[in-house]
């Protein structure tokens, strides 16, 4: 067996896409008389500084000899259009089965989904493993290439995506995909197939808006289901179609940590107490302060902001419904002191609030009688010693809430996939 790892062939300006380059490499391997067992589409840490659009790395599992693989890569990497100097393709050839890679390679893959990994570290691990490298430019893509080779051992949860590609002659022109056929197929295959459409936004999210070769990508639990949906969509002619096994929709980027231990640029699941009422700021972005779950209001030392940005649409209503004292478990990327929410679980809801007492005679709200002097009604001469507890109507229930499909990161796990602690409120 031979495993090929490939990354950083995306080009922002020229619209190339690593999944397409991998598909082309696989096709050439078959033309050379080889057999291609499968293609892996591996999503890595979404927040890395060098990321190209989707931050995807690809692995090809094949039976061709390593020399054939290397020669094929050499001729195909030029497809990656290195005229874009931000594109620095890297490929690796491993002369072994995907399940037989070293612990070092598997660990590297696991880390690359959760933190930024250096090119020099990737070169060292790849050299130790005896993998052959083919690069253009700085070869930055070796990081993803190595992670893609280690992915089969590193991750134990997999989903599938069937991607169709456009004929090269129409790249950059508007895509001709029949929206009704997309919605019909998505409806019929849900929830085995997910994130095909966004019903709330009435959007076919499986059809990208960027230039480039992808016509549409169908995601779900089984190869049969995603391919069947892909087949039933009416569109312009499909040039080529490819099935990928992938860590998309698995939360492979998320790690657990207490609020005080969050590191910049990583993605976490952390339990926290809501410190203040959520605030909607300019642009429609919603922010809420979070503190340690186990500290009282007065002694809270650590605090962060959690954010639901405007593109997360209706998800913001759930964040706005939070109140001080609620306990939540929040998931998202932590950057510059702010956790960009992907999903959260409501663990405990406060059901009372402390309010200024109403006057027993006129029922109007009393006024403060001064510091530590309680409240009074000037009109009626009544007084009260302090605030009173009133039951609070809540617009949110216990359980998990998530961003809608239109705002979902490739790697983030949709609630409909299951396996979450607590109730779920899936978006579709
Ligand atoms: Zn009164």
Q: What is the DSSP string of 371-410?
A: TTS-EE-TTT--EESS-EEEE---S--SEEEE--GGG--T
Ligand 1 centroid–CA 324 distance in Å is 29
Q: What's the pLDDT at 84? A: 64
Q: What's the pLDDT at 277? A: 94
Ligand 1 centroid–CA 356 distance in Å is 13
Ligand 1 centroid–CA 350 distance in Å is 29
Ligand 1 centroid–CA 368 distance in Å is 13
pTM of the model: 0.91
Residue 251 to residues 7, 30, 64, 176, 424, Cα–Cα distance (Å): 20, 33, 33, 32, 16
Residues 21, 9: Cα–Cα separation, whole Å: 7
| Residues of the chain scoring pLDDT < 70 | 10-16, 46-54, 79-85, 295-300
Ligand 1 centroid–CA 366 distance in Å is 7
- Contact between 344 and 290 (Cβ < 8 Å): no
140 phi and psi, to 5 degrees?
-50, -30
Q: What is the DSSP letter of 174?
A: P
Ligand 1 centroid–CA 358 distance in Å is 8
Q: What's the pLDDT at 52? A: 47
Ligand 1 centroid–CA 381 distance in Å is 7
Q: What's the pLDDT at 46? A: 65
Residues 155, 251: Cα–Cα separation, whole Å: 11
Q: What's the pLDDT at 54? A: 58
Ligand 1 centroid–CA 375 distance in Å is 11
Q: 3-class DSSP state for residue 194?
A: strand
Tokens of 232: 């039933």
Q: What's the pLDDT at 212? A: 86
Q: What's the pLDDT at 298? A: 54
Ligand 1 centroid–CA 389 distance in Å is 19
Q: Which of 284, 262, 279, 281 is nearest to 271 (CA)?
A: 262
Ligand 1 centroid–CA 387 distance in Å is 16
- Contact between 176 and 249 (Cβ < 8 Å): no
Tokens of 253: 């980027």
């Amino acid at each position: 067996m031979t495993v090929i790892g490939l990354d950083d062939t995306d080009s922002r300006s020229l619209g190339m896409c690593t999944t397409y380059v991998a598909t082309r490499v696989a096709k050439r391997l078959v033309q050379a008389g080889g057999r291609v067992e499968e293609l892996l589409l591996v999503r890595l840490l979404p927040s890395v500084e060098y990321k190209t659009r989707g931050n995807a790395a690809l692995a090809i599992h094949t039976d061709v000899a390593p020399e054939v693989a290397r020669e094929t890569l050499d001729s195909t990497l030029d497809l990656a259009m290195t005229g874009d100097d931000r594109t620095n393709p890297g490929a690796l050839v491993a002369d072994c089965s995907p399940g037989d890679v070293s612990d070092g390679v598997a660990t590297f893959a696991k880390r690359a989904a959760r933190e930024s990994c250096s090119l020099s570290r990737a070169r060292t691990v790849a050299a130790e493993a005896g993998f052959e490298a083919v690069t253009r430019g700085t070869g930055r893509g070796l990081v993803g290439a190595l992670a893609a080779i280690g992915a089969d051992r590193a991750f134990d949860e997999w989903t599938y995506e069937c991607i169709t590609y456009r004929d090269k002659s129409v790249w950059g022109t508007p895509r001709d995909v029949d929206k009704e056929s997309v919605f019909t197929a998505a409806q019929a295959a849900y929830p085995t197939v997910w994130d095909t459409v966004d019903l709330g936004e009435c959007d076919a999210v499986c059809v990208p808006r960027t230039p480039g070769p992808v016509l549409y990508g169908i995601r779900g639990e089984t190869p049969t289901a995603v391919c069947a949906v892909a087949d039933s969509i009416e569109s312009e002619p499909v040039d080529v179609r490819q099935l990928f096994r992938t860590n998309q929709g698995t939360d492979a980027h998320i790690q657990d940590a207490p609020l005080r231990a969050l590191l910049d640029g990583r993605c976490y699941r952390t339990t926290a107490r809501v410190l203040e009422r959520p605030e909607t700021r300019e642009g429609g972005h919603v922010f809420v302060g979070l503190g340690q779950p186990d500290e009282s209001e007065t002694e809270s030392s650590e605090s962060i902001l959690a954010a639901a940005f405007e593109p997360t649409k209706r998800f913001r209503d759930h964040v706005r419904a939070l109140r001080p004292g609620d306990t939540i478990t929040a998931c998202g990327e932590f950057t510059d002191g702010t956790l960009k929410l992907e999903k959260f679980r409501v663990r405990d809801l406060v059901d009372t609030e402390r309010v200024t007492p109403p006057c027993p005679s006129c029922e109007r709200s009393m006024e403060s009688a001064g510091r530590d002097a309680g409240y009074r009604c000037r009109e009626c001469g009544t007084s009260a010693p302090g605030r009173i507890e009133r039951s609070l109507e809540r617009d949110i229930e216990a359980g998990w809430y998530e961003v809608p499909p239109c705002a979902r990161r490739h790697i983030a796990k949709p609630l409909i996939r299951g396996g979450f602690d607590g109730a779920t409120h899936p978006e579709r």
